[in-house]
Structure 1
Amino acid sequence: MASIHRSANAHWQGGGKDGTGSLTTQSGVLKDSQYGFKTRFENGPGTNPEELIAAAHAGCFTMALAFQLSGAGHVPEALDTAAKVSLEQEGAGWKIAAVALTLKAKVPGLSQEEFSKLADAAKAGCPVSKVLNATITLDATLES
């Protein structure tokens, strides 16, 4: 069985609320990218884990759908997905409770019924969907 490995590193200095951190990914797309309390719980400059999960989920789902569509003989003209991660307080901590995926797709010659079936299969089969312990919703629009 084949396996693929991807990695990222986090560095942190200081306490939880007043400390600062940086994230670096294997690919170098993120290199010492700033994150901290203000980027996670307020709107400070930098990134945060939930934003990165949203990007990963949007990318994973969209690619999975492109494979589903191509496999069914329908090459998409355009697939645009937004992912909104909901972080909710749970006791003294926090949890990712939900991810709302919103898709706008342009796929010539595809029926609404087949589109919905393939989009649902991509949502269920995407590796990021499989790893999240959250409610995942999909609002999918097939544009003409």
Structure 2
Amino acid sequence: MTLDETQIDAQLQVMAERLRAARFARGLRLIDVAGLTGLSEVHLYRLEQGERAPSLRALLVLAAALGLSPADLLDGEESPAERSAPHTGRAVWTGTEKAGSGEMIKGAVRVRYDLARRVNPELIEDTDGTVGSPESLLGMAFAGCFSMALAADLDDAGYPPLRIETFAEVQTESGAGGIALSDIELRCEAAVSGIADAQFQAMAEATKRNCLVARALVAVPARLDARLVAISGD
């Protein structure tokens, strides 16, 4: 049987998830696995993102280091996903689309929105975080998820970050079908000691593609401008 590119990519993602799960279960960082296997942290990171296919030698040494057989990484039944408690949110809209208004609610937080501000975000005068749009909350979600995932990836690689700040710009366009998302730009500044810029850029790009919210927004083009910034006292 010949596998097509889609099937190969799917197999790489399965292996990547199993590698990462096995490492986490053993409390190992990427730098620890690098020491056990002789593989570089960057190579290991790309394997865990499903961006590289391992050589036979790499597969064997990885399986041995993690106390698994090669088949454990490639074959077998998928273990059922564990579902966590659901994340919840609520919205109330009053009136018609054009004349009405609404609130997006999470606990004591209430964000007001309406069509005019959604189509023309420059009309939003938000000094206390109580006026916005679904798109602005979507941008916050992407920025928050990306920042947290990048912090985890950097820490796994042996570069614990001091601070990561990400700004998201969600662009929409209006047409015959209504409002549509056209693209999202993330601008990130990270204070991280010891990491080379090339390695940081590669990790940030991978995180932009693979963090949870990014996978949910796979149909929307996303751009990233990621920069390392100086740490006070360095």
Calculate the TM-score normalised by the size of structure 2. 0.57
Measured after TM superposition, the shift of residue 109 of structure 1 is: 0.4
Q: Given the alignment of the two structures, is residue 7 of structure 1 paired with residue 85 of structure 2, yes or no?
A: no
Instruction: Point out which structure has higher relative CO (alpha carbons under 8 A, 6+ apart).
Output: 1
Cross-structure match for 1:40: 118
Which has the larger helix fraction? 2
Percent of aligned pairs sharing the same letter: 32
1:54 aligns with 2:139: yes
CA contact (8 A) 1:17 1:37 kept: yes
Identify unmatched segments of 5+ residues in structure 1: none
Question: C-alpha displacement at 1:40, in angstroms?
Answer: 1.2
Matched residues in 2 for 1:65 and 1:29: separation?
29
**Cα deviations across residues 79-114 of structure 1 (Å, max 9, x unaligned)?**
111000001123231111111000111111000111
Cα shift readout 1:57-100 (whole Å, capped 9, x = no counterpart): 00000001000000001011111110000011232311111110
Query: Match of 1:39, as an amino acid?
Result: R
The 2-side partners of 1:6 and 1:108 are apart by: 34
Listed as ranges, the gaps of 5+ residues in structure 2 are: 1-80, 126-130
Distance 1:119 1:92 in 2: 34
1:25-65 superposed Cα distances (whole Å, 9 cap, x missing partner) = 2xx1523x321113312314522100000100000000010
3-state DSSP of counterpart to 1:21? strand
Task: Return the structure number with greater strand share.
Answer: 1
Scaled by the length of structure 1, the TM-score of the pair is: 0.91
**Matched residue pairs, number?**
141
Contact 1:79 1:106 survives alignment (8 Å): yes
Aligned residues of 1:38 and 1:44 also touching (Cα < 8 A): no
Bigger radius of gyration, 1 or 2?
2
1:127 equivalent among 195, 212, 217? 212
* Matched residue, 1:78: 163
